[in-house]
Amino acid sequence: MQKEFISYEQALELKELGFDEPCLAWYNTKGVLLSDITICYDNSDFLYSLDDMDDGSQCIAPTFSQAFRWFREKYHLIGGIEYIGGEKPETTWWDIYVVSHFNIDSKKMTMKYQPYEQAELACLKKLIEIVKQPKKN
């Protein structure tokens, strides 16, 4: 289940960029993924937000799906992964791409990642890098 969540390092970077959406899990100051999901009366009782974090090095832990949706909605950036070949898991390769809703700074990276999870992480890192770039006037 842990592979559904972005890494501690990327969660801290998203926090720096302003990510603050309810999440099912969070990272403590040592980067350990934690959650105490329970069935409760109020659906929001088991979700975490930045307000729940006591320390600056604690952070909420979005899933990859949440992170990609956040970049799409907030920055109009679509990150994607494209199959480029291979018939077995150990011979399958993936490329990543980042496209703006407005076709600004559209980029396709031909980097060949394996396995799929490495492509997913590389795409997330590329989205973070693009948003952190200084704005051109």
Query: How would residue 123 be classed by pLDDT, with cut points 50, 70 and 90?
Result: very high
Domain ranges of the chain: 2-63, 76-132
Q: Which of 66, 55, 52, 56 is nearest to 4 (CA)?
A: 66
Predicted pLDDT at 87: 80
Predicted pLDDT at 110: 59
Dist CA 8 CA 123 (whole Å): 16
